[in-house]
Structure 1
Amino acid sequence: MATRAEWAERVERWQRSGLSAEKFARREGYKPKQLYWWRWKLRADGPSRSSPSGEAPSFLPVHVVTDASPIAPEPIEIALPNGRVVRVRPGFDPATLERVLALAAEETSC
Structure 2
Amino acid sequence: MPSERIKTRQNTKYEPKIDVYSITRLEYMEKYKYESIVEGINGFKGYYAFVFKNYCVLESAVYGNATYIIPKENWEILSQKTKKELLDENKVVDKIDHTAKWKQNVEL
TM > 0.5 fold call: no
**Bigger Rg over Cα:** 1
Which structure has more strand as a fraction of its residues? 2
TM-score by length of 2: 0.22
Which structure has more helix as a fraction of its residues? 1
TM-score by length of 1: 0.22
